[in-house]
Chain A
Amino acid sequence: MKIDSTQPLEYSTEQNRLNILGFWIFLGAEIMLFATLFTSYFVYENRTGSGPGGADIFEITPVLIETILLLTSSFTIGLAIHAMRIQRTKAMLGFFAITLVLGAAFLGVEIYEFIHYYHVGATLQTSAFTGILLTTLGTHGAHVMFGLFWGIFIFIQIKKQGLTPQTANKSFIFSLYWHFLDVMWIFIFSFIYLKGMM
């Protein structure tokens, strides 16, 4: 494998460069996936049938906590990649771990939120509106969950193998994924929660 040392580690082999481009294209597909969910959400937003509407069930506190947790985790994964670039493996692992812990906390609060919806009578089977709300949030949450496991695997690999072109490449791609989930959350926050509560 040819290693080009003028490039940052994550870009240093041909396969690494292919992986990163491929992942960007994958994110393009993910954008379409979420765009379809958002479009459907807007269509069903006021089609609440006999169930509650957004203003009836949204609670600002858990949503704000989730937002802060996820935004911070996006910041810390950025720091992790920065640490990786300057070859500080320990610092990188630290920030990586913080990111994952924040992600797990986010999921915890989201699960609490879902239980709340269940108790106020907003389930998948209540109306088209609650259905699409939970499907959209659930798709995002499932992505975060998937990311957590993936992140843990990468964490273990860096711990074992140190920073190699492969592990650096994986971490960088993971950070793209994580930022992407953050951006999607900002859309969810603004166009589902804020708009719904207004």
Chain B
Amino acid sequence: MEFFERFAIPHPSPMIYASMVAIGLVTIAIIVGISYFKKWGYLWNEWLTTTDHKRIGIMYIISALLMLFRGGADAVMMRLQTAVPENTFLDAQHYNEVFTTHGVVMIFFMAMAFIIGLMNYIIPLQIGARDVAFPRLNALSFWLYFAGAMLFNISFVIGGSPDAGWTNYYPLASTDFSTSVGVNYYNWALQISGIGTLMSGINFITTIIKMRAPGMTLMKMPMFVWSALITNIIIVFAFPVLTIALLMGTFDRQFGTFFFASENGGMDMMWANLFWIWGHPEVYILILPAFGIYSQIIATFSERNLYGYTSMVVSMVAISLLSFLVWVHHFFTMGHDAMTNSIFSITTMAIAVPTGIKIFNWLLTMWKGKIRFTTPMLYSIAFIPLFTIGGVTGVMLAIASADYQYHNTMFLVAHFHNVIIPGVVFAMIAGLIYWWPKMFGFMLNEKIGKWAFWFIVVGFCFSFFPMYITGLDGQARRMYTYSEATGFGPLSMLSFFGASLLAAGFAIIVYNIYYSFRNAPRNIGDDPWNARSLEWATHNPVPEYNFAVTPEVVSSEALWDAKKRGHNLFKDKIEKIHMPNNTGWPIIMAGLFFVFGFSFVFFIWAGVILSGLAILGCMAYRSFEKDDGRYISVEEIKETEDKFGGANE
């Protein structure tokens, strides 16, 4: 019995017991459902073992949407708790756990996964490739991410959630102040999914550098590809810092080292530094792909070439370099001298310059364009002013002396939601709607989509703009309640109202998916948006080999120029195509990583050693395995192409 006591929740409540039951029931329902419909074989052969970048991309996006709802539930709980003064819906400890898991889930398991999912699906298509450079590694990346996400998500029913914030500062995160296993979960879940992310980074850089269609020079790549290239370079340079920081945190908590302690030479600020040396580049890892998506959408629906292509690229490169030089702005108030603060204040403000250039480029793309107000375009148009407000408040925060007033208030919370929601989340929704026909062969309903858009935009404004005001009035972040005398009540209630609208907006998106799946026509052709880049030069949904014939490119708007100037994209004739085989090893290895992480969280050394050895065993097996993939024959390709109404030859 004693062995099992460690799995008990340190701070239970009826809600947690209810979710335990709910998780149990849903799991049983899923297993029974799949068995009843005899779908295990289909699931295993077509999805769980796939190495197809398109299916992996879709699995990333589905997982990201699930995490969006998990994180969203946390968010609504927080707004509910703070809607009125002295509320008792959540107590302090629960509130701590909820804001911590909200942040971690949204950044690591929602936003990162969504972005990598879209990159997976779109990048090979936009560069005219058959797959990514390392399809198996890609599958492993996904499953490691998934294992990390699941490990994190079971924390609140087994052993207790982390409660030291998504920034996990020491000494709060040390065993002195965070006594449950929660922070161990944080360390291992992020470590495991972080390895997956790093491998994705390597995979995409190699793919983009080496596998572009003939004629596509670097400066003819679609802007989303450029943004992905730069993002992945940042990933490769930033994530190892997180790896080491998490390792040191694990050692402190589980082996009694003193890295972030206040005695024996330890230094708690070391964590804050390492975390933000990774963390600030991370915010650009999120936003640059979003910029890339907006560039594609705005050009398409303005029917003009993207304005200032070169300056777009140059400013992204500048942002990526600067992003490594600003991390101190996250703790101006934590005891540096004036000189240090001034330097980092200036580097931070400097980032606003390349960002501003991009804003003007989008505006000038729309200038004199024939704008079509589709749903993805609406999100892109709303993004511009809203993101600019977030950038401006960022520059306010960057004034080190003034930051003593704003730091760790709701003003900061408003800032980063103001850049992340209109910046990243809008881009993900817009990208999903824009590329939906590519993935599934039908369009999402525009009318319902626009309803969702208005709910989300208005909901966003009501949720977060009040926080700027209460923040300036001194409302600290991460406080589970406040007294009536502070006067924060009415604005907090408004914020709760906004959060409800946001939630309703997402519900409408889900309904739209259901509605369109049932009702939308399937005969949409290859190019329903009248688009400009290569991914629209093949069929919807995309056949497994992507392009029957490798395209040849002459300009950065490859498809548009093919349509308008009559370039021939597909000059060769059909040949047999080499494809990677499916493999079960990635999911098995990720399962072992899950066991490894779980055992480590609870100090179950037998589990750690056995799963560790099994992981190495898998690698050894893989080293000896011979797998040269398979070929799709010309007849098979011709048959598939005929089904789509003729080859693009």
Q: Is B240 touching A30 in the complex (CB atoms < 8 A)?
A: yes
Which of A28, A32, A157, A166 counts the most chain B CB atoms within 10 A?
A32
Q: Is A22 touching B258 in the complex (CB atoms < 8 A)?
A: no
Query: In this assembly, does A194 line the interface, its C-beta being within 8 Å of a C-beta of chain B?
Result: no
- Give the distance to chain A from B129, nearest Cβ to Cβ, in Å: 11
Binary contact readout B264-306 vs A (1 if CB under 8 angstroms, 0 otherwise): 1111001000100000000000000000000000000000000
- Give the distance to chain A from B609, nearest Cβ to Cβ, in Å: 15
Interface of A is mostly: helix
From known contacts A33-B244, A36-B240, infer whether A149 and B620 are also in contact, taking CB-CB under 8 Å. yes
Query: In this assembly, does B202 line the interface, its C-beta being within 8 Å of a C-beta of chain A?
Result: yes
Interface of B is mostly: helix
> When chains A and B are docked, how far (Å) is the Cα of A49 from the Cα of B247?
21
> When chains A and B are docked, how far (Å) is the Cα of A37 from the Cα of B263?
20
From known contacts A1-B628, A135-B248, A149-B616, infer whether A124 and B237 are also in contact, taking CB-CB under 8 Å. no
Q: Is B251 touching A124 in the complex (CB atoms < 8 A)?
A: yes
> When chains A and B are docked, how far (Å) is the Cα of A75 from the Cα of B365?
57
Q: Is B257 touching A18 in the complex (CB atoms < 8 A)?
A: no
- Give the distance to chain B from A160, nearest Cβ to Cβ, in Å: 9
> When chains A and B are docked, how far (Å) is the Cα of A1 from the Cα of B261?
56
Q: Which residues of B contact A128 (CB under 8 A)?
A: 257-259, 261, 264-267
Which residue from chain A places its CB closest to the CB of B237 in the assembled complex?
Answer: A32
Interface segment, one of A39-47, A87-95, A98-106: A39-47
Q: Which residues of B contact A21 (CB under 8 A)?
A: 133, 206, 209-210
Q: Which residues of A contact B255 (CB under 8 A)?
A: 124-125
Binary contact readout B193-211 vs A (1 if CB under 8 angstroms, 0 otherwise): 0000010011101100111
- Give the distance to chain A from B101, nearest Cβ to Cβ, in Å: 26
Binary contact readout A3-26 vs B (1 if CB under 8 angstroms, 0 otherwise): 000000000000001110110011
Q: Is A29 touching B198 in the complex (CB atoms < 8 A)?
A: yes
Contacting A at CB under 8 A, from B141-166, are none
Binary contact readout B241-256 vs A (1 if CB under 8 angstroms, 0 otherwise): 1011101100100011
Q: Is B244 touching A132 in the complex (CB atoms < 8 A)?
A: no
Q: Is B257 touching A125 in the complex (CB atoms < 8 A)?
A: yes
Q: Which residues of B contact A32 (CB under 8 A)?
A: 236-238, 240-241
> When chains A and B are docked, how far (Å) is the Cα of A191 from the Cα of B490?
59
Q: Is A40 touching B236 in the complex (CB atoms < 8 A)?
A: no
Query: In this assembly, does B529 line the interface, its C-beta being within 8 Å of a C-beta of chain A?
Result: no
- Give the distance to chain A from B368, nearest Cβ to Cβ, in Å: 42
From known contacts A32-B241, A40-B270, A153-B623, infer whether A127 and B628 are also in contact, taking CB-CB under 8 Å. no
Query: In this assembly, does B134 line the interface, its C-beta being within 8 Å of a C-beta of chain A?
Result: yes
Q: Which residues of B contact A129 (CB under 8 A)?
A: 265
Q: Is A125 touching B236 in the complex (CB atoms < 8 A)?
A: no
Q: Which residues of B contact A127 (CB under 8 A)?
A: 258, 264-265
- Give the distance to chain B from A13, nearest Cβ to Cβ, in Å: 10
A18 partner, pick from B210, B236, B616, beta carbons under 8 A? B210
Query: In this assembly, does B42 line the interface, its C-beta being within 8 Å of a C-beta of chain A?
Result: no
Which of A37, A40, A49 counts the most chain B CB atoms within 10 A?
A40
Binary contact readout B124-140 vs A (1 if CB under 8 angstroms, 0 otherwise): 00000000011000000
Q: Which residues of B contact A43 (CB under 8 A)?
A: 267, 270
Query: In this assembly, does B239 line the interface, its C-beta being within 8 Å of a C-beta of chain A?
Result: yes
Q: Which residues of A contact B628 (CB under 8 A)?
A: 1
> When chains A and B are docked, how far (Å) is the Cα of A79 from the Cα of B518?
65
- Give the distance to chain B from A159, nearest Cβ to Cβ, in Å: 12
- Give the distance to chain B from A14, nearest Cβ to Cβ, in Å: 8
Q: Is B203 touching A131 in the complex (CB atoms < 8 A)?
A: no
Query: In this assembly, does A50 line the interface, its C-beta being within 8 Å of a C-beta of chain B?
Result: yes
B202 partner, pick from A22, A40, A135, A154, beta carbons under 8 A? A22
Q: Is A135 touching B251 in the complex (CB atoms < 8 A)?
A: yes
Query: In this assembly, does B624 line the interface, its C-beta being within 8 Å of a C-beta of chain A?
Result: yes
Interface residues of B, CB < 8 Å — how many? Answer: 43
Which of A25, A44, A47 counts the most chain B CB atoms within 10 A?
A25
From known contacts A18-B134, A29-B240, A50-B264, infer whether A36 and B274 are also in contact, taking CB-CB under 8 Å. yes
Query: In this assembly, does A162 line the interface, its C-beta being within 8 Å of a C-beta of chain B?
Result: no
Which residue from chain B places its CB closest to the CB of A156 in the assembled complex?
Answer: B624
Q: Which residues of A contact B206 (CB under 8 A)?
A: 18, 21-22, 25
Query: In this assembly, does A187 line the interface, its C-beta being within 8 Å of a C-beta of chain B?
Result: no
> When chains A and B are docked, how far (Å) is the Cα of A7 from the Cα of B646?
39
From known contacts A17-B210, A150-B623, infer whether A131 and B244 are also in contact, taking CB-CB under 8 Å. no
> When chains A and B are docked, how far (Å) is the Cα of A21 from the Cα of B616?
24
B236 partner, pick from A25, A47, A157, beta carbons under 8 A? A25
Binary contact readout B502-515 vs A (1 if CB under 8 angstroms, 0 otherwise): 00000000000000
Which residue from chain B places its CB closest to the CB of A129 in the assembled complex?
Answer: B265
Binary contact readout B615-636 vs A (1 if CB under 8 angstroms, 0 otherwise): 0100010011010100000000
Query: In this assembly, does A196 line the interface, its C-beta being within 8 Å of a C-beta of chain B?
Result: no
From known contacts A22-B206, A125-B257, A128-B265, infer whether A29 and B251 are also in contact, taking CB-CB under 8 Å. no
Q: Is B620 touching A131 in the complex (CB atoms < 8 A)?
A: no
Contacting B at CB under 8 A, from A47-84, are 47-51
Which residue from chain B places its CB closest to the CB of A48 in the assembled complex?
Answer: B265
A132 partner, pick from B198, B236, B259, beta carbons under 8 A? B259
Which residue from chain A places its CB closest to the CB of B263 in the assembled complex?
Answer: A49
Q: Which residues of A contact B245 (CB under 8 A)?
A: 36
Q: Which residues of B contact A131 (CB under 8 A)?
A: 251, 257-259
Q: Is B202 touching A49 in the complex (CB atoms < 8 A)?
A: no
A26 partner, pick from B202, B247, B259, beta carbons under 8 A? B202
Q: Is A36 touching B265 in the complex (CB atoms < 8 A)?
A: no
Q: Which residues of A contact B267 (CB under 8 A)?
A: 43-44, 47, 128
- Give the distance to chain A from B109, nearest Cβ to Cβ, in Å: 21
Q: Which residues of B contact A132 (CB under 8 A)?
A: 259
Q: Which residues of B contact A156 (CB under 8 A)?
A: 624
Binary contact readout A96-125 vs B (1 if CB under 8 angstroms, 0 otherwise): 000000000000000000000000000011
Q: Is B248 touching A40 in the complex (CB atoms < 8 A)?
A: yes
> When chains A and B are docked, how far (Å) is the Cα of A125 from the Cα of B256?
6
Binary contact readout B593-624 vs A (1 if CB under 8 angstroms, 0 otherwise): 00000000000000000000000100010011
Q: Is A157 touching B624 in the complex (CB atoms < 8 A)?
A: yes
Binary contact readout B211-248 vs A (1 if CB under 8 angstroms, 0 otherwise): 10000000000000000000000001111110111011
Q: Which residues of A contact B133 (CB under 8 A)?
A: 18, 21-22
Q: Is B257 touching A36 in the complex (CB atoms < 8 A)?
A: no
> When chains A and B are docked, how far (Å) is the Cα of A92 from the Cα of B83?
72
- Give the distance to chain A from B212, nearest Cβ to Cβ, in Å: 13
> When chains A and B are docked, how far (Å) is the Cα of A128 from the Cα of B262?
10
Which residue from chain A places its CB closest to the CB of B244 in the assembled complex?
Answer: A36
> When chains A and B are docked, how far (Å) is the Cα of A71 from the Cα of B616?
27
Residues of B within 8 A of A (CB): 133-134, 198, 201-203, 205-206, 209-211, 236-241, 243-245, 247-248, 251, 255-259, 261, 263-267, 270, 274, 578, 616, 620, 623-624, 626, 628
16 A-B residue pairs with CB within 8 Å = A22-B203, A28-B237, A29-B198, A32-B240, A44-B259, A44-B265, A49-B266, A50-B264, A51-B264, A124-B257, A125-B255, A127-B258, A128-B264, A131-B259, A153-B623, A154-B623
Q: A30-B240, A36-B244, A51-B264 are in contact. List 16 more A-B contacts (CB 8 A).
A: A18-B210, A21-B133, A21-B206, A21-B210, A26-B202, A29-B198, A29-B202, A29-B236, A32-B237, A33-B243, A40-B248, A49-B264, A124-B257, A128-B258, A128-B264, A153-B624
Closest 5 A/B residue pairs (Cβ): A47-B265, A49-B264, A128-B265, A33-B240, A32-B240
